[in-house]
Amino acid sequence: MSQMEVFSNAVPSVAKPATLLMLLPRDQTSWCQQFAQEGYNVVHLTYPLSANASFKDAMKVVGEQILALGADWGLLTYGLTTKDAETLVLKLALSLADLKACAHFCPDAEDTHGFLLKDSQGRHVPRCSISVTFHLASSQEVLHASLLLLEDPANLGYSLPTHSRLPVRVYSYPLVSKSPPFPFSIQPPVSVKAGDQQSIDPYLRSASSLSLTRTLELLKSYLGPHFNLERLWEMHTYYEFIERDAPKTMSTMVATPYVNHVPTMTGGVGYEELARFYKYHFTTVRGETHAVFHVHDVWQVTPQDFELITVSRTVGCDRIVDEMIFKCHHTSEIDYFLPGIAPTGKYIQIAMTFVGVPSIYKLMVYLADPLGRYWDQAGLLAQLGLLDPSNLPVAGIEVPTKVLDPFGMPSNTLLKRWHESEGLPID
């Protein structure tokens, strides 16, 4: 059986994909599929090699394959040893100028020897800003300590241009395994299936999610592909909130989408469950006859004064976070906000956060991590008179008002002991 396998870029719109060389076991190739769906050609070398195999010879074959693909390339390793790290790039028939980014997960090493390359002038190779990233288990204290020195520009031995970032970055993750490398204990998003019952340690889930995002930040910065994630996200939210069209909304999602409305635990996992939720409980909302219009034998409600105001937007390498204010009159039973609560006719404003993960796989949107929509449910219930805030640290419409204008309302009005610190020294 061949030790090398190629996973072709799965994004049709990427005309000239960069190449990733990934070193990991054969039973972990779902991670290769994950990065192929991010827009890369992936060359997978089964690692570690069998006892009688030559790592040097394997590198020669891999190098020829990368050259045949003919593009800039990056390197992802899992549990790489110091000996193999020394051999890895030196034995590849490639120009180091074409190597743009490296990420090492839990290398089996005590120091940086073999993992950090330098040119004849003593500069780190490759020289493009954050080009080498290390993801370590917190138990790898010795290696972590040696790498931390390189996150201080004073320890590089040469000056960086003002527009450049450091060529080395190291991240440490608590309470996860060094061996096998912690990503192997969790499925990548591409492998998630509806109905999967996984009980995953929260530290492991956190480490896997953060390390994937940080690796994608590295790769997309120096290898691409570059997409307008805001346009993808806005296409999804337009179908969802403006057209209120369930089939169009679902058309923007991958095969196993996930939406989680955290305060009410509504949404769904998988196409069938989520399509049902959107059709009957989100884009279609039951309401009073005076507030509805009839389309294809389905009563649909869109509050006449429905409004979404974006307060802030953060765009990352693989996700978008919107801070928003939702406004409307409560003229229908809104299943996703207020399930089981009959319309009150009251005016409501809700401070909320949307987390979206636009996927470039098919220029679609997916929510494959525990992400979704968060909002101030207590404040919403207080506005409707369903929760008495008088003896609770809860506010009503003041919350979205202060989000929109943080300087327009006083702070600490719910902090009953606030007056006790008045006049006390603050230094």
Instruction: Please tell me the least confidently modeled range out of 216-225, 303-312, 347-356, 381-390.
Output: 303-312
Burial 58-88 (b: 16+ CB within 10 A, else e): bbeebbebbbebebbbbbbbbbbbbebbebb
Contact 319, 220 (CB under 8 A): no
Rounded to two decimals, what is the model's pTM?
0.86
Residue 249 token pair = 């909304």
- Domains of the chain (ranges; CATH) run 4-223 (3.40.50), 233-404 (3.10.450.50)
- Is the pLDDT reported for residue 396 higher than 70? yes
| pLDDT tens per residue across span 236-265 | 888 888 888 888 888 777 777 788 899 999
Rounded Cα–Cα distance for residues 213 and 219 (Å): 10
Within 296-344, strands assigned E span 298-300, 307-315, 320-329
- Is the pLDDT reported for residue 93 higher than 60? no
Residue 413 token pair = 């009005």
How distant, in Å, are the alpha carbons of 39, 122, 266, 379, 399 from that of 417? 54, 59, 37, 21, 20
| pLDDT tens per residue across span 267-294 | 888 888 888 988 888 876 444 433 333 3
Binned at pLDDT 50, 70 and 90, residue 196 comes out as low
Residues 6+ apart with CB under 8 A from 350: 325, 326, 327, 337, 375, 376, 379, 380, 400
Within 226-381, strands assigned E span 258-261, 266-269, 293-295, 298-300, 307-315, 320-329, 347-359, 364-366, 372-375
**CB neighbour class for 246 (10 Å; exposed up to 12, middle 13-18, buried from 19):** buried
Binned at pLDDT 50, 70 and 90, residue 419 comes out as very high
Instruction: Give the strand pairing for 364-366 and 117-118.
Output: unpaired
| pLDDT tens per residue across span 36-73 | 989 999 999 999 998 888 898 898 889 889 989 987 89
Residues 6+ apart with CB under 8 A from 143: 107, 109, 110, 111, 112, 134, 136
- Pick from 34, 26, 176, 54: nearest CA to 106: 176
Query: Phi then psi for 234, rounded to 5 degrees?
Result: -70, -30
Within 360-411, strands assigned E span 364-366, 372-375
Residues 6+ apart with CB under 8 A from 295: none
